[in-house]
Amino acid sequence: MSVNRYNVIGFNRGDIIKLIINTPGTYISKSGTRFKLKNGENVQEIPAKKVEQILITCPSSISTEAISLAVEENIDLVLLKMNGKPIGRFWHSKHGSISTIRKKQLLLSENELGITFVKEWISKKMENQIDFLKMLSMNRRDERRDLLKENVLKIDEEIKKLDTVTFNQNIDEIRNTIQGYEGYASRVYFEMISKSLPEKYQFNGRSRNPAKDYFNCMLNYGYGILYSQIERSCIIAGLDPYIGILHVDNYNRKAFTFDLIEKYRIYVDKTIFKMFSTKKIRDDFFEEIEGGFFLAKDGKQALISEYNLLMESTEKYRGKNMEVQNIIQSECHNIANRILNW
């Protein structure tokens, strides 16, 4: 990662750059085939060919020419809310859901394939939670070790219950049952995460809009960035991010993204837990507002840096090493193929 004197953050992977616009008042325009970044008297130009993604995280301005350049170069351009969730994005028109996938997606919430997908994703989420708690228990030599093991068994019981869910015509009943299992497992999981943190950072359950504590503040912003990545992967694979299965379709809500993100939340959980347990958190990362906290500029910078390092790390996937971000993309293509072949 590099941070230049204009406070524009660039994450480098070889010759590829992810730009995080993190300074209020930055103006992004086009200069030939380059993005021109201006803030006060400070000016910088970056070749569009080197840019993979632009995240705008604060009040800034961008010209229509710069937007067009990003679209033409297939650069993901995302506007983020204060909590990290994408408020909007621009993408090339070729990244659209083909009609066959879209038509079949509309039927997923009322057929067996849709329930199979949801069970797979929620089950994987719980398995990830178990694996993480087991890892934490291995590093404990006090009463928390036994407590972690006890709660691993509780989550495992919810996986077994989830496995018994079968398709029937009462979709709302299935939805409520699955969300009940998932919700209980998550409450157990986050209680154990809290108990495993330094006492200063322990928290009382999940909180949102606003977060009531530092950990949830980081978690909410991290999930917001992940939402954006899942949405992008869906669009590229031809999936419609708005047509959900488990999550009810509400106007302008990316329900399918909410469904699919469940199995990937662990990446954010691990990243943020590591930051808190290795003393990478500072009080000035957060700003207090009425009812809670939101992430300040330096906090966003620190979190996005760690998140990008994780996404560019490799894991074993189908017999070969792949970057995490490419695994997510590959799995979205697999989902699209399963829907098309159904």
Q: Which residues are annotated as a binding site for Mn(2+)?
A: 182, 247, 262
Alpha carbon distance 114, 159 (integer Å): 18
Smallest CA-to-CA distance from 256 within 142, 125, 117 is with: 117
8 A C-beta contact, residue 140 and residue 148 = yes
Q: Residue 296 is which amino acid?
A: A
Tokens of 56: 């705008």
How many degrees, rounded to 5, is the angle at CA 255 between CA 87 and CA 187? 95
How many degrees, rounded to 5, is the angle at CA 298 between CA 293 and CA 300? 65
Which class for 144: exposed (0-12), middle (13-18), buried (19 or more C-beta within 10 A)? middle
For 13, other C-beta atoms within 10 Å of its C-beta total 14
Can you tell me which residue has the tokens 């990362």? 285
All residues at 6 or more sequence positions from 88 whose CB lies less than 8 Å from its CB, including other chains? 78, 79
Please provide the size of the chain in residues.
342
Strand pairing class (16-21; 51-56): parallel
Sign of the torsion formed by the C-alpha atoms of 80, 85, 88 and 89: positive
8 A C-beta contact, residue 181 and residue 246 = no
Q: Is 86 helix (H, G, I), strand (E, B) or coil?
A: strand
Which class for 170: exposed (0-12), middle (13-18), buried (19 or more C-beta within 10 A)? exposed
**For residue 322, what are the β-bridge partners?**
315
Q: Is 64 helix (H, G, I), strand (E, B) or coil?
A: helix
| DSSP run (H or E) holding 286 | strand 286-289
